[in-house]
Amino acid sequence: MDRRPPRGHRNVPHTADVRFEAWAPDREGCVAEAVTALVDTFVDATGVTSAAETGYRAPPADDPDLLVAVLDEVIFRLDTEGAVPLATEVRPAGDGGLLVRWQVASTDAVEAIGAVPKAVALHELRFGRDDAGWSCAVTLDV
């Protein structure tokens, strides 16, 4: 069996929608990696530089709800602002929430390679500690 790197993500087969797994040594890193995994499902941003920085504060919630809140915010901003995260930094907010900073580019600056996600599906959502740190599995409605 192959060992996974300390941080990363991969797409996994799904019948109708898009599903990915992401992992990192800590919770915040796993959320950031999940954002990268989401973006990688529908755009190629190779060589694109950030046009702006933006932030988001996820309110206090349990871990799966925090993950969904951040991913839903990415989809919302994609839809309303045409903003695609190129880099993500996540920190604990101190009250159970998360502070998220994104380096973003316009959808015009990236190459579309897949279906744009419409929402995060709650069915079979997984996010928590595992033997190597934190991991998640997410299905996106496309």
| pLDDT digit string, tens, across residues 57-107 | 999 999 999 999 999 999 999 999 999 999 999 999 999 999 999 999 999
52-58: strand order across its sheet? 52-58, 98-106, 83-92
Residue 137's beta-bridge partner residues? 21, 126
CB 9 within 8 A of CB 36: yes
A 10 A CB-CB count for 60 gives 12
CATH architecture of 18-141: 3-Layer(bab) Sandwich (3.55)
Stretch 34-55: mean pLDDT: 95
> Does 1 score more than 50 pLDDT?
no
> Does 138 score more than 80 pLDDT?
yes
Residue whose token pair is 């755009």: 43
